[in-house]
Structure formats: structure tokens, C-alpha cells
Structure 1
């Protein structure tokens, strides 16, 4: 349990955390991987939500191997699509874990959204997840339609990495990037990694664990986007962090570096939120507000605002 300066005061987010711990204990990272995934799946099911009216889903595979899910809301107002990459520390998560979140974003933005079931560690270490995501990115961009890449936590890391690799390979078509409490390769020993080291929902020790499991090379900028030397020419970004989260400064520093390089960025630190607040959007006032802001930002990037 975090100290008082690491604990929010909003009743809704505290109730959310309490409910989470009934499914996913604080020491979950000490359990076998399959147990972690079972707990996470149960947790995600607990926070499921009704599907938006007339939204359709279609499951398919890319390259004969990578599962994706296509969401088409009742009203589509843009040719730009959203590519959503789920979080879960590169260890847990699936098409199902973020299904309701993806459906609600697609519906709010009036845009088609495609999510991915990338390979997970430790069975598949770096760069398996990254390669899966980049293959789907190329597949989506092949028809010439613009794309917004988005992701939460580990998915935010992958989304930022996609934008960097696309720039390195002169691949065009990414209209924006949406990074939701992303882990971007911070040093683990300063700033929010110390200040929020024992925060609710995610600790600095947890972040270190997930990095160790992934085994990404320490200096690879696609795995650790904060280590990129040049941030110019990257897509416009909406970056949102949770104040009570060791990853907070990763998001803030990345936003600062993009802005300094001339990239159009909106950054928001959700003042009462903890890591994974997206899942609390139907029970926390702060999470509800953060999700509305997120959906507006996505709408802006895909061109439906």
C-alpha cells in the first residue's frame, strides 16, 4: 500500500482499486504467468460494459497469424481509422480484455477501430509484440487511408514505438498518436518512479518486473521511446497520464520532448487517477472525465470533431 502522498482522495477511484484487488492481488507479479492471465481476464470481465447500439465487430487475422478485431460504429464520419494496442505489461491482455474500451472509443469518435492480439511475454520476448503490431500497422496503411495509433500502458509504449519506426522507414499515413499512461523507458530511479513508487495499481517494482520479462534491449529506441535522439517529424499526439502512477513522468517527459521538436501535442495529467483508470470510466468521476477528454482527442485526430 502506498503512503498517503501516493493515494488519491476521489472515492470512485478508491472504490475501483478496492474492486480490482479482489480479482488481481497487489502481488500478482509473483504468481505464475497463467495465473496472472486468469486473474486479469476475470478482472476485465468484472468491468465489462454494454456495447454501443448497432456497433459491429469482425474478427480476422493478418498475415495468417495475428488476430485482430474490427469495430464499426453505427455512424462513421471519417476515412481515418484507429489502431488500438492494449496494455497489460506485455504479459496479459487480449482482444477481450479491452473490447468494451475499444467499442466505446470507436463509437465516440465515429471511426472504424482495429485492435490487435499481439504475442505476449515471456513466451514471446522482444521484439515479437512490436513486430506483430508493426505488421498490422503496415497492413492497415496499405490502402492509403490515414491511421491514428493508440494504446494504453504497454500498448502506449508500442504505439509510440510504431510512430518512431514508421518515421525511420519513411512510412507515411499516421495522422496521430494517442498514448494513455504509457511506459516509455524512464530510468526507474527518479521523479515519479520514486515519488509514486508504491502507488495503487502499479508500483515501480512492477514496472521493473515487466521490463525484465520483455527483455527489450536497453538502448533500443523503439522499445524505449524516451531514448530517441530526435523527436521531430512525429505525428501529432494526445498524451494522458495518471497523477498517482510511477509512469507519470514518462508521459510528461515525452510530451515535453515532442513539443520542443515542434510536434503538436496535448498533454493531460489526470489529477486523481491511478494506473489503468480507463477501466474505471463507469464508476469514477475523474475517470469518466478523462475518458471523455480522451475520446474528444481521438475524434479531433481522426477528423470527426
Structure 2
């Protein structure tokens, strides 16, 4: 049974984030575009990391894609000589920017692993699609992988993006990450699994109407051919030859059918994927602050990466 802390967050987080399904796609598009116009994306959101400037150094790289330039932040614990790199693709339905709790999680990883963290601030939908950043992200991860060990990870949409980058690196024959870390990844934007509506009915955070809209924005259309391509739905791509991976997911999550599909397909391939499914836990529970279940996922993650 989930902890009381988890149950409290399951009630509070959707309300704090004002989670609700969309009214219409055009209304949602206009809302998100207005939100984006008012965002300050000139620096990292450090509010959830105490004494961030004293504890971490930040260097900003500029990446270039068809949609223009975008930043990638290299965060290194002060006083640490990094032994490897963590490249983290942040979640947010491909339409939300880096969140303070993304930064909190990856800086904890950096300290625990003696690693630098690379956080690409990739262009967001609906103004942009996967094509505006994909090649730049593949080149970024390949460059770091050629220099030393790389953990490639992500949460939610970022987990799917991390897997898509890993698939592209494998197919292009370059240096690959040593590990993949996927927390509640969105790996099938076709939403083809028939049990998805039943899981969505129990999910207080994610809504199918929004997921369908965000998927179409990221793919560039709602065409099955675009939604199902490996850059968009990497869970449907061939999986042989990918780096060893850990995936976590809770069953109070609209995305769990896609995670189960990925686990089944991995079992039928040569890919070494460990899948941890926790009953009645929220989307991206592994990143939730102060939750016993997240502490358990943290220990599993460190055991896997060490």
C-alpha cells in the first residue's frame, strides 16, 4: 500500500499544477503558446536546490538544430573531478521546460556519482517538433560518450526522448552511453495499447486528451506514420543492441501500458532492461520529494549505476 506521504502528494500535486484535461486542441495550443511567451528560460530554475551557486558550477553550451539555437547546461559539483557524465532529458509532455525538481534530482545524481550533469533545454512543442532538436541531441550525447562513460536518462517525455536518442546512436554506429535510466518514460506516442484508457481513469495527473494533443505537436502531425516513427515512439523501434537499462513506473499512471509494452518487447530482444513496476504509485514517483517509495527507487537507481 502506498505511503501516506505518497497519498498526500497524489492529492496535492495535480491540484498545485492545476491538472485538468483540455477543452479543445486549439484552446490548449493557444494557452501553451501564451505561457511560453512569458517564460524566462535564460537560466536554470535552481529554487529547489539549496545553495546551488555555492555547490555547483554551470557552463552553458549552445546547440544548433533546424529550429535554431538552444542551450545545454553542464552542471558540475564544485570540488569534484567528474568520472562520468549524466545527460538528462527532462520531462513535461514535450511542452514544459526544465522544472526545479528535475534540477533537484539530477544534482543529487551528480553528487552521488561524482558526475557532471548535462541538461539540454530543447525546443518545446507546439512551436517545435522532434525534428528541431533530434540530431543536435544525438550529436551531444555521442560527443560525451566518445569522451568517457555516459548515463543517458530522462523522466516522462524526457525518458522517451532519451530512448529515442539511444536508438539513433545505435543505428548510426557511434559511441553509446553505458547505461540508460528511464523514469515513467513516454515511449509510445501512438497510445496504441488498448488498456491505456483504464489506467488513465485512475491517474490524477495525466489526461488522455492532452497526451493526444502533445503527441501530435511533437510528431508534427497526428498521422500514424509520424507518431510511430522511432524518433517519436522509440518503444516501437527494434531494441537489440541498446545499453543496459533500468526503467521504473507506478501503476497509477496513464503511461504504464506503454512501459509494459516496452518491457515485453525488450524481453523478446537481446536488450538488457530491468523493469521495476510499483503498485498504485504516481507518474514519475521516483522524482517525488520526501516519499518513501522514491527513496526506494533512489537506492535501486544507485545500485544499478554503481
What TM-score do the two structures reach when normalised by structure 1? Answer: 0.82
TM-superposed deviation, 1:261:
1.6
- Alignment equivalent of 1:128, drawn from 132, 136, 152: 132
- Alignment equivalent of 2:297, drawn from 262, 268, 290: 290
1:252 paired to 2:255: no
Correspondence for 1:59: 59
Contact 2:101 2:287 in 1 (8 A): no
Q: Deviations over 1:176-226 (max 9, x none)?
A: 111110111165354541321221111333321211221341231121112
Contact 2:46 2:52 in 1 (8 A): no
Correspondence for 1:11: 4
Matches within 5 A, 1:75-86: 79-86=83-90
Structure 1 runs not aligned, ≥5 long:
1-7
Quote the Cα distance in structure 2 between the aligned partners of 1:76 and 1:189. Answer: 45
1:215 paired to 2:214: no
1:21 paired to 2:14: yes
Contact 2:63 2:71 in 1 (8 A): no
Label 1:18 to 1:58 Cα distance change in 2 as closer, same or farther (>3 A): same
Correspondence for 1:145: 148
User: What value does the CA root-mean-square deviation take over the aligned residues?
Assistant: 3.1
Structure 2 runs not aligned, ≥5 long:
221-225
Q: How many residues align?
A: 287
Contact 1:255 1:267 in 2 (8 A): yes
TM-superposed deviation, 1:76:
5.2
1:195 paired to 2:211: no
TM-superposed deviation, 1:114:
1.0
Quote the Cα distance in structure 2 between the aligned partners of 1:83 and 1:160. Answer: 12
Label 1:40 to 1:263 Cα distance change in 2 as closer, same or farther (>3 A): farther
Quote the Cα distance in structure 2 between the aligned partners of 1:293 and 1:274. Answer: 17
Quote the Cα distance in structure 1 between the aligned partners of 2:59 and 2:206. Answer: 31
Correspondence for 1:227: 236
TM-superposed deviation, 1:14:
2.4
Quote the Cα distance in structure 1 between the aligned partners of 2:79 and 2:280. Answer: 33
| More relative contact order, 1 or 2 (CA 8 Å, 6+ apart) | 1
Contact 1:179 1:239 in 2 (8 A): yes
Matches within 5 A, 1:260-279: 260-279=268-287
- Alignment equivalent of 1:181, drawn from 176, 184, 189: 184
Q: Deviations over 1:141-170 (max 9, x none)?
A: 35x312121000111011100111011110
